[in-house]
Amino acid sequence: MDLGTIWFILWGVLWAVYFILDGFDFGIGSIMPFFAKNDEEKRILYNAMGPFWDGNEVWLITAGGVTFAAFPRTYAVMFSALYTPLMLLLFALILRGVSFEFRSKIDSPGWRKIWDTCNFLGSFLPALLLGVAFANIFKGIPIDGEGILHGNLLTLLNPYGLAGGVLFVLLFAHHGALWLAYKSVGDVHDRAVALAGKLWPILAGVVVLFLVMSFAMTKLFTNYLVNPILFVILLIAVAGLLLTCKYRRDGRILASWGASAVLIGTTALFGVVGIFPALLPSSLNPAFSLTIENSSSTPLTLAIMLGVALVFVPVVIAYQIWTIRTFRHPVTKADLEYDEAY
């Protein structure tokens, strides 16, 4: 296996890990206005996200950094062709980060409402925009041989792109409801479990719809039909979807969240494997697509990066495991009395 292919696999895995980890944060923020009945419950939701959200976004930086260093031409065209949605994503993430720190600075319902709104928008919009962006990548973006986009933001808001956006919003909302159920007790826990149960059939329907649209409107299944062994990815995704429901009904909430993580990760990998060896397929002409061959860095650069990744990625993983283990206990009313609590 050549270095370009290794980095393509790592590129897909890093995005999948980011969706899994920041997905539950996005999900909790997205359901907050419709779930939390009072300020105390909002604080429980904030504290269910609080110790994790900034660490989770390290994976976004890592995935973006890998795109920049391993596939610089893809990075340049991506941030040019998808400039508007990516800038909206950036501003939404900034608002979300600020909301965590500013919400409690002034004891005023109006002040808190402003930052609650920012947290909701900073959670819902990234979920939607990431879904729209990656669905369009899976479908193919209308870029020419010079990497220039033939279209605008409305071009990206096509039926398949919007279906991807809705899918990501539902995946993350369901993922977030399960994490909230794991991190809460009493009435909040029970309602979070119930919400996950209500979201599951809707999510299952959208997953099926997205697969049908992928088969009819994209070339994602080409690699799978050529190499049927790859259908294992879809089988694992289906198993994850079914097990989230089974484990939730059995009261095994953490296991249900883990199955949801498998579902999100394999959903992302389904698309990445489907477009291989392209990173940005062109819907105008396959010859205009940005692939491993025409957009990767030099072999020396890829080799040095691989060495760096083998040293530092395990450090990030170790930190993530430590964080989750340290703050794995449920959030209770007593926890809200600490000065460090949101």
> pLDDT per residue over 7-59, tens digit each?
999 999 999 999 999 999 999 999 999 999 999 999 999 999 988 988 899 89
Identify the CA nearest to 21 among candidates 59, 51, 47: 59
Structure tokens at 262: 């498998």
Residue type, 205: G
pLDDT in tens, 242-275: 999 999 999 999 999 999 999 999 999 999 999 9
- SS3 state of residue 297: coil
- Mapped onto helix, strand or coil, the DSSP state of residue 33 is helix
Residue with tokens 């004891």: 107
Q: Count of alpha carbons within 13 Å of 53, Cβ hemisphere only? A: 25
pLDDT in the model for residue 192? 97
pLDDT per residue over 281-306, tens digit each?
999 999 999 999 999 999 999 999 99
pLDDT in tens, 58-94: 899 999 989 999 999 999 998 888 888 889 999 999 9
> Which two tokens mark 18?
């980011």
State how far the Cα of 297 lies from the Cα of 197, in Å rounded to an integer.
Answer: 46
Please say if the pLDDT value at position 110 is more than 80. yes
85 within 8 A of 129, measured Cβ to Cβ: yes
Nearest to 296 by CA among 9, 85, 61: 9
